[in-house]
Structure 1
Amino acid sequence: MNRPIRLVTAALTASAALLLTACGSGGDDKSSDEIEGAGDGGGKASASASAEPEGAKRPEIKLPAEFRAEFAGWTDSDPKLRAILDDGREELRAKYAAIIEGDPESDAVAFYNSGTSLTTARKWIKGFTDTDDSLIGEIKAYNAKANIADNGAGLLFYCVDERKASTKNRKTKKVTATPDTPESVLQYRARLTKSPKGVWQTVSLETVPGGCK
Structure 2
Amino acid sequence: MTMTGAALTTAAAVLLTACGGTGDGSSPEHERAAESSAAPPRIERPVIKLPSSFQLTFEAWNDADPQRQAVLNDAKEELRAGYAAIIANDPDSKAVAFYDTGSGRVQSKKWIKSYTDKNRRVVGELPVFDPKVTLLDDGTTASLAYCTDESKARTEHRLTGKVEGNSPDMDPEVSYVVTLRKSSAGVWQNSSVRSQRGKCAE
Q: How does 1:64-143 map to 2 (within 5 A)?
A: 64-143=51-130
The structure-2 alpha-carbon separation of the partners of 1:195 and 1:181, relative to structure 1 and needing over 3 Å to count, comes to farther
Residue in structure 2 matched with residue 175 of structure 1 by the alignment? 163
* Shift in Å, 1:124: 1.2
Contact 2:50 2:84 in 1 (8 A): yes
* Separation of aligned partners in 2, 1:164 and 1:153: 33
Q: Select the structure with the greater relative contact order (CA < 8 A; seq sep ≥ 6).
A: 1
Residue in structure 1 matched with residue 146 of structure 2 by the alignment? 158
Contact 1:55 1:197 in 2 (8 A): no
* Separation of aligned partners in 2, 1:199 and 1:179: 37
Matched residues, percent identical? 41
Residue in structure 2 matched with residue 56 of structure 1 by the alignment? 43
State the number of aligned residues.
175
* Separation of aligned partners in 1, 2:186 and 2:168: 39
* Separation of aligned partners in 2, 1:171 and 1:86: 34
Contact 1:164 1:178 in 2 (8 A): no
The structure-2 alpha-carbon separation of the partners of 1:80 and 1:134, relative to structure 1 and needing over 3 Å to count, comes to same
Residue in structure 2 matched with residue 47 of structure 1 by the alignment? 9
Which amino acid in 1 is paired with 2:190? T
RMSD, matched Cα: 2.0
* Separation of aligned partners in 2, 1:132 and 1:142: 28
Which amino acid in 2 is paired with 1:62? K
* Separation of aligned partners in 1, 2:12 and 2:198: 32
Q: Deviations over 1:99-133 (max 9, x none)?
A: 00000000011011111110111011112111110
Contact 1:84 1:154 in 2 (8 A): yes
The structure-2 alpha-carbon separation of the partners of 1:127 and 1:174, relative to structure 1 and needing over 3 Å to count, comes to same
* Shift in Å, 1:180: 4.5
Q: TM-score, normalization: structure 1?
A: 0.77
Which amino acid in 2 is paired with 1:187? S
1:193 aligns with 2:178: no
Where does the alignment leave 5 or more consecutive residues of structure 2 unmatched?
15-39
* Separation of aligned partners in 1, 2:128 and 2:13: 18
Where does the alignment leave 5 or more consecutive residues of structure 1 unmatched?
1-15, 26-44
